[in-house]
Amino acid sequence: MSFLEISGLHKHYGPVAALAGVDLSVVSGSRTAIVGPSGCGKTTLLRLIAGFEAPDQGRIALDGEVLANGGNAVPAHRRGIGVVAQDGALFPHLTIGDNIGFGISRGDDKRSERIVELAYIVGLDKAILKRRPHELSGGQQQRVALARAMAMKPRLMLLDEPFSALDTGLRASMRKAVAELLEAAGITTILVTHDQAEALSFASQVAVMREGKFSQVDTPRELYLRPRDRMIAEFLGDAIILPAKISGGFANSPLGRIPVDTADNRDVARIMLRPEQIALKRTSREGMSGTPDMLFGEVTESEFGGSMCMIAVRLLNSADPPDAAAIGNTPLVLRKPGMDAPAVGEIVRLTVLGKAHVFA
C-alpha cells in the first residue's frame, strides 16, 4: 500500500511552471530519490510535500490523510514531516544540544536523555552537544540536522541535497550511514538530489525529473539499464547509443549482433549500451586476420585518471557495413580500470556483454 500519494501536482511562480503535473507514490518504509538537473522543480516538489508552500493544483496525501488539495494545505508545523536541508540549516544561535532538542517540548522530562540518544544514533559524540554549529565540520552539521529532524519522530523524512556540500569521500560514507539509520528507524524517506550516482545508490525507487515532470519512475537498476529515452540514459551515466535493426531478440548494429531486451522486430531502432558492457582484450594487427566476425579497434586516446582511465577506441572493422564508415570516424569512449589500460596505438578486440536496451 502506498504511504505517500501525490497526484496531479502543479505549481507556478509567475509565468514559470515549476511543477507541471507530478504523480508519485511511495511505499511505507522505502527510500525514494528524486533526481534531475538544477531547476527541474525537484526542490519545489519537496517544499510542497514539507508544507512550506501550497500547490496551485493537485493533491498530497500521507498515510491516508490529505495534506494538500490545491491551495488548501495543512501548514508545515502540523505535518510531522522531517526535513534535512542542503546545509543542515542549523540554528546558529543555539548549541548543538538545543538544536537537536528544538522539536522536543522543553517540559519533557526525557528531553536531555533523548538528545544524547539521538546524538548517539547519528554517531555524534556527547561532548559536541555544548558547542555551536559553526564549530562543526560539514559532515557533523548534517548529522545534527538529521538528529534534529528525527527527534520529532517524523512519519516521513525529506532530504534536500543533504550531502552535496560534503567532500567526495565523506559524501559516500554519510549517504550509506544515513540510509542505514533511516532504514533501522523504519522512516520513509525522500531524497532530492542532482547527483545521479547518489540517487541510484541511495534509493529503492528513483524518479527522474525534468521540467516540472517525472520522465520515469523506477528501481535504480531498471532506470539505469532500461531508460525510457536517450536523455534519461545520458543523465544517469555514460551511454553508447547506436542505430540498429532488431529481429528475433537480437540487434544488428555497428558493434555486431547483440542480444536485446525486447522480442519486437523493428527495422529502424536505437539501442543503448553502457560503456562497461564493452570488454576490451589486447591483441595485435596480426591477431585480426582470419576472424571476420570479430570486432577490432585501435586505441586513439588514453587519458590516465587514477583508478579509471578514459579510453577512445576507433573501430577498425564492423559487422554491419552500412554504418561502418560513420562508426569508424567516431571513436567509442570507454572507462576502464587504470591498472592495465591499453596504450595509444594498441589494437584491441571488443566484446559486448549482456543485453542492449532498445529505446521505445
Partner 1 sequence: MLPPGGSGAAPELMRSAIDLARSGLPSGTGQRTLWRTAPWIVIAAIFVSLLSLLPLAFIIWIAVQTGWETVSALVFRPRVGELLVNTGLLVLLAVPIAIVLSVALAWLTERSDLPGARLWSWLCVAPLAIPAFVHSYAWITMVPRLHGLWAGVLISVIAYFPFLYLTVSAALRRLDPALEDAGAALGLGPWRVFLRVVLPQLRLAICGGSLLVGLHLLAEYGLYVFIRFDTFTTAIVDQFQSTFNGPAANMLAGVLVSCCFVLLGIEVLVRGEERYARVGSGAARSQQRARLGRATIPGLLLLLATTLLALGVPFVTIGRWLVAGGMEVWRFDEIGLALGQTLFLALAGALLATVAAMPMAWISIRAPGPLQRLLESCNYIVGSLPGVVIALALVTITVRIALPLYQTLFTILVAYALMFLPRALVSLRASIAQAPVELERAASSLGRPPLNALWSTTIRLSAPGAAAGMALVALGIMNELTATQMLAPNGTRTLAMAFWSYSGEIDYASAAPYAFIMVAMSLPLTWLLYVQSKRMAGR
Contact set with partner 1 (CB under 8 A)? 47, 50-53, 75-83, 85-94, 102-103, 132-134, 138, 141, 145, 148-149, 151-152, 164-165
Closest distance to partner 1 from the beta carbon of 73 (Å): 12
Half-sphere exposure of 104 (CA within 13 A, CB side): 23
Least distance in angstroms from the C-beta of 261 to partner 1: 40
> Strand, coil or helix: what is 12?
strand
Closer to partner 1 by CB, 151 or 358: give it.
151
CB of 113 to partner 1, least distance (A): 18
Q: What is the DSSP track for 103-151?
A: GS-TT-TTHHHHHHHHHHHTT--GGGGGS-GGGS-HHHHHHHHHHHHHT
Quick check: helix, strand or coil at residue 197? Answer: helix
Question: CB under 8 Å to 89, separation ≥6 — which residues?
Answer: 145
* Percentages (nearest 5) of helix, strand, coil residues in the chain: 30, 35, 35
Q: How far is CA 107 from the centre of its chain?
A: 41
Closest C-alpha to 67, from 50, 83, 82: 50
DSSP secondary structure letter of residue 245: E
Taking the least distance from each CB to partner 1, the nearer of 153 and 257 is 153
Strands 188-193 and 156-160, sheet pairing: parallel
Quick one: 78 or 257, whose CB is closer to partner 1? Answer: 78
Residue 53: CB minimum distance to partner 1, A: 7
- In angstroms, the CA 61 to CA 64 distance is 6
**Closest distance to partner 1 from the beta carbon of 333 (Å):** 32
- CA-to-CA distance for 170 and 172, rounded, in angstroms? 6
Which of 42/336 has CB closer to partner 1?
42
Instruction: State in angstroms the smallest separation of the CB of 138 from partner 1.
Output: 7
**CA torsion angle for 258, 241, 246, 252 (degrees, to 10)?**
-50
Answer whether 47's CB lies under 8 Å from 59's CB.
no
Given the complex with partner 1, which of 3 and 91 has the nearer CB atom? 91
Residue number, 103 or 328, with CB nearest to partner 1: 103
Tell me which residue of 191, 111, 106, 107 sits closest to 151, measured CA to CA: 111
**Least Å from the CB of residue 52 to partner 1:** 5
For partner 1, the closer CB: 94 or 312: 94
Q: Which is nearer to partner 1, 79 or 226 (CB)?
A: 79
Closest contact distance (angstroms) between CB of 107 and partner 1 is 14
